[in-house]
Amino acid sequence: MVVQEQLTKEYAQKLDQQNELKMYRDEFYIQPGVIYFDGNSLGLLSKRAESTLLQLVDSWKKYGIDGWTNGDHPWFYLSEKLGKGNAPLIGAEPEETIVTGSTTINLHQLVATFYKPEGKKTKILADELNFPTDIYALKSQLQLHGYAPEEHLVQVKSRDGNTLQEEDIIEAMTDDIALIVLPSVLYRSGQLLDMKRLTAEAHNRGILIGFDLCHSVGSIPHSLSDWDVDFAFWCTYKHLNGGPGSVGGLYVNKRHFGTCPGLAGWFSSKKDKQFDMEHTLKAAPDAGAYQMGTPHVLSLAPLLGSLDLFNEVGIEKIRKQSLQLTNYLMTLIDAELSEYEFIVANPREDAARGGHIYLEHKEAARICKALKENNVIPDFRTPNGIRLAPVALYNTFEEVWETVQILRKIMKEEQYKKFENKRDVVA
């Protein structure tokens, strides 16, 4: 039950005073007067990430080619070093993860490695709500094997257009499925799937399973190794604040070490053998085998600072604060916006929700434009979705309160009507 005190600015300010992570807000570059609620699309720049970027630029300036082996962060080992920094966030052993490639490149690598159609097991199981790049990649991998995607890509249907029923996913794990690729958190609705349960069900049926962690890494804790997940992949520019186009990451369960990379390159090599320049690959004995080309050093650099910050705070504390922020946002939406036809379309339960709130409204595109005019940065998703992500490390309860007041004013004054109800080129 909502009490009147919770609807006041003073209550939000009191919550901010009690926030044990409040000192970390000063670590980020926040524009004065702007409420940034789009950290689930692109996280803000931290001062630590800026510092390590400049350090790597300086190493190029200072060492030239010798930067590969000299300096505080030798480039030749940078992907492995960042993999170790990422391991606590995903619940992996250090050798099971590597920072390399991008979301789509890493998905192609992992499917090329682990999709082994044989006999009647020829199909890949996914879902109809996944981010398009994953589906494009899965279809192209099927085509490379000579299979028609319309027959061999099975996409679990949503009953409500926003969420998936795990029972439906499990029912679709039939004996013709060779591989499963699912999101950990659905990018629209923010639904968090039970990865432990789904992995166990897949393995009970002899099926390998992997997860796209783009909307969960840096926002929720994971225990990939304990859950026995086969593989995972993710981007680092959302909750991990690695910067636009920052290098992605992948995880391979150590049970699969020694499996030849489906897409090999010279950075797949054992480090001590790479410069032998032989034409027969001697693959790294760990997740490093699933690298391909030369790492993008300057796009890796901000992650040194960002992951340092995350591991200092701890993902459990980040998750706790994230849930408090999103719960408070939903409380205010229910109390203040009920007359304006907003639908909270994300799961309400903490255990079933990632780090953002998903509102549906028939005027969503123009409401997002009106929010931006009022210095609130949301995210629009076609056709009628508004994503709001109050981030644990740099957003406040007062910003949550102010955003709902601004939304109420936009609706009451019909400010949104001055805009077209369609997305811009980049939404």
CB half-sphere exposure, 405, CA atoms < 13 A: 12
* Residues 6+ away with beta carbon under 8 Å from 80: 98, 288
Residue with tokens 């709130």: 357
CA atoms lying within 13 Å on the CB side of residue 66: 6
Q: Could you give the 3-state DSSP secondary structure of residue 223?
A: coil
Distance of alpha carbon 107 from alpha carbon 385, whole angstroms: 26
Phi/psi at 374 (5° precision): -95, 20
The answer to whether 104 is annotated as binding is yes
How many alpha carbons lie under 13 Å from residue 178 in its C-beta half-sphere? 21
Q: Is 227 annotated as a binding residue?
A: no
8 is in an annotated binding site: no
DSSP notation for 239-297: TT---TT---EEEE-GGGTTPPPSS--GGGB-TTTGGG--SS--B-SSGGGG--S---H
Are 406 and 371 spatial neighbours (Cβ–Cβ below 8 Å)? Answer: yes
Instruction: State the distance between the two ends of the chain, measured CA to CA, in whole angstroms.
Output: 36
| CA pair distance 252, 267, nearest whole angstrom | 16
DSSP 194-212: -HHHHHHHHHHTT-EEEEE
Is 203 within any annotated ligand binding site?
no
133 is in an annotated binding site: yes
Residue 326 marked ligand-binding: no
Backbone angles phi, psi at 132, to 5 degrees: -55, -35
Q: Is 131 annotated as a binding residue?
A: yes
Pairing verdict, β 385-388 and 357-360:
antiparallel
331 appears as a binding residue in the annotation: no
Has 122 been labeled as part of a binding site? Answer: no
52 is in an annotated binding site: no
For residue 21, give both structure tokens: 């992570």
| 132 annotated to a ligand binding site | yes
Query: In three state form, how does the secondary structure of 272-288 look?
Result: CCHHHCCCCCCECCCHH
Please, which residues have CB within 8 angstroms of residue 406's CB and are 6 or more apart in sequence?
Answer: 371, 374, 376
Non-local (6+) Cβ contacts of 230 within 8 A are 114, 199, 208, 209, 210, 252, 253, 255, 256
Query: Residues annotated as binding site for pyridoxal 5'-phosphate?
Result: 103-104, 131-134, 212, 215, 237, 266, 294
Binding-site residues sit at 103-104, 131-134, 212, 215, 237, 266, 294
